[in-house]
Structure 1
Amino acid sequence: MRHIAIIGSGPAGYYTAEAAQKLWGDEVRVDIIDRLPVPYGLIRTGVAPDHQSIKGVSRRYEATALSDNVRFVGNVTVGPDVTIAELGELYDAVVLATGAPSDRPVGIPGGDLPGVIGSAAFVGWYNGHPDHADLAPPLRGAGAVIVGAGNVALDVARVLAKTDEEFAGSDIVAHALDQLRGGRFDTITILARRGPHQIAMTPKELGELGHLARAAPEVDPADLPPVDTDAALDPGQRKSVAHLRSFAARAVSKAVRIIFDFHAAPLRIEGEGRVQRVVVERTTLDATGRVAMTGQTYVVPASLVVSCIGYRTPPIDGVPYDEQLGRFANVDGRIAPRLYAVGWARRGPTGTIGTNRPDGFMIIDQIAADIMPDSGKQGRAGLDRLLDARGVEVVTFRDWQRIDDVEVAGARAGAPREKLVSMAALLAARA
């Protein structure tokens, strides 16, 4: 029998568990450990609430979770409740699938002013993550500035711009919907350091901006490169740039403007006790494609700044860490003997949800090459004894199903669920 502990119950964790099942069948026991009492990680608290079709992938993970040899061990924090070293004594292999839930710092003067929020926190707020439910971002005033040129920036802009009616069928949490209803911005500016050809925005997400009820995207035609240069792009990029060209070609007047400001690097954030403006410098690209500063500056008024410039994996005591890349130090997923990383914890915040599946299968292949089939490790029995002795309340997948029932029953009309947003409420719902 092989015993594997996976830290993190998001896509990378469940795909790794699925791979272990497919390789070893009944000859493996997998414990998926998470500090939250709810599974699915990014699917629950990272995917935009109005993208329910993407969240549907959790049904695949549920099939894995309900099998006899995979167990969800929720409400257990690695470090305070059990250490990596202790897990290494109990399991044949320990896989870190913690994702990258922390924001990269914005890294400019004024980045600590009230009203400057990282995208992980902002997305967690409207998705009901217990860590961010009390965020209360400023949602009225001079305007919102979003820093970044990826899909998360589009998600934030779309959530800020939508009407109540456009959230029908989504699982945006009630506290976020109430606060959005109480204050909306007339201007949302997306700052991108590079040009349209360098964005990491996919066609579907860009296209959605063109169909909002009260908001319209704006692109300055002067920011667009010559049309014939689009031929060098891959098909997805060409479609994305085609959306930008269509935004530039039409003059649509709506209550909310979503302004794409390309070749724009934030220099500093200013304000008296809170965010009031962002000082931006115009950029250009040199012959090698690198960003070059021009010295030309201007001011964008803002009461809210959301930084969507990337994520980092939080360090864990005793685990080698790459500070520059913001992930665990590893070579093709191997960190140390019988200690591995998978998904964003291995490669950084790149790729789609589906990218984690081949990643998980690769890691299991490595584990198969590294460990003996019958090492005599205690596995889950040893973990249960340790956690019980420490008074840790473990949340099982059956417990999660009861929480799920409570959330679904409490949904507002048309919504799939109303998420419980505090640890106390989540734990109480198990009864």
Structure 2
Amino acid sequence: MMNILEFPERASWSTIIKRPAVDHLLLNEKVANVLNGVKKGGDKAVQQYTLEFDGVNLDSCTVTAAEIQEAINILDPILKKAIETAAANIQKFHLTQMNKELPVETMPGITCWRKWVGIDKVGLYIPGGSAPLFSTILMLGIPAEIAGCKQVVLCSPPDKNGKLHPAILYAANLVGIKQLFKIGGVQAIAAMAFGTETIPAVYKIFGPGNQYVTAAKQMVQQSGVAIDMPAGPSEVCVLADETAVPAFVAADLLSQAEHGPDSQVLLVSTSAQLIESVNQSLVSQIAELPRKDLAVKALQNSRAVLMNNMTDAVELVNEYAAEHLIIACSNANDIADQISNAGSVFIGNYSPESVGDYASGTNHTLPTNAYARMYSGVSVDSFIKKITFQQLTKEGLAAIANTVETMAEAEGLKAHAEAVRVRLK
């Protein structure tokens, strides 16, 4: 099932870790046209694009209170309980991120501190095409609420009946999101970036999506709207030795591959026998999947790499910088300490990625396409600004005056020096 590469030379590693190619010129042209269309045409343009891309003609894209109540009434109680359990764990983990910083007296009479302030207006994009990702609402809505964001706008693509999945509405209501809109794709990003007659413009946009959504987020960032990260098609890397359970590894690879044909899975191992057993398990497990066709296409872009030793394997994994990294090795904790590039790490045979995707408490909105080399996943920090403050007494200013005056004069900025001198005359 997976393409197997044995003992690759270091010079070929860049090819191994390469993600599926995208024609960015053609992609960006299409995305730019939709962004400009919504910017100029507002609600009418959004309606036209929703008909064109989603096949739905909506008189209004606003989710009503009646639709939310209907979703609450019809959703399976077992699923409601699962969502509530996941929400509680996610909230518990994210609340620990709100540690207050204490003021610091850098010199006598000079006090500095930082204040955390929630971003006033944020937009959440929730994918809903082939799979309604209601779990992403918990991952974004809960830290937004903890951060104290004043306005949270949610957009998600409607189904063929012009509705959002009941679980999406239930999860949004659970975390207190009031402004929900049935809009997907590039037109949703455009609406939240520029605003329309109905959808408010926001300061920062969050949420994963396909290559079109990712390109749209990156483009609106150039016009002054912040984004969480360039989160594109999902991916997983499994680092395994001979102690890994082949059925577990295959299940983890398939849980990622079923997202879509542009997802990527990578298996890195020091055991040829394990790779062979995983491939056999993939064949038997994939036959049982409802989304089998999508998984098969994703696996065609995926690789199993046999390495000479664990040192080289870890180095390759760090170069790959996976969104999700599963370490299925005998000394998994020691190896985890050596990981420098990954969005989220799952340690040991009993830590499947799907647990982090839904309910362990960590956030599943993570950097893809090797952006884990320099980006973190979403957290409460993503929804706040940190404003610095300083307060000086007259004595404090006198103590530091010579330092500031000397540096200002050396840079040729006399007015900076005078702003100190005038206060001490």
TM bucket, shorter chain: under 0.3
Higher helix share: 2
- Greater C-alpha radius of gyration: 2
Give the TM-score normalised by the residue count of structure 1. Answer: 0.25
> RCO (CA 8 Å, sep 6+): is it higher in 1 or 2?
1
Give the TM-score normalised by the residue count of structure 2. Answer: 0.25
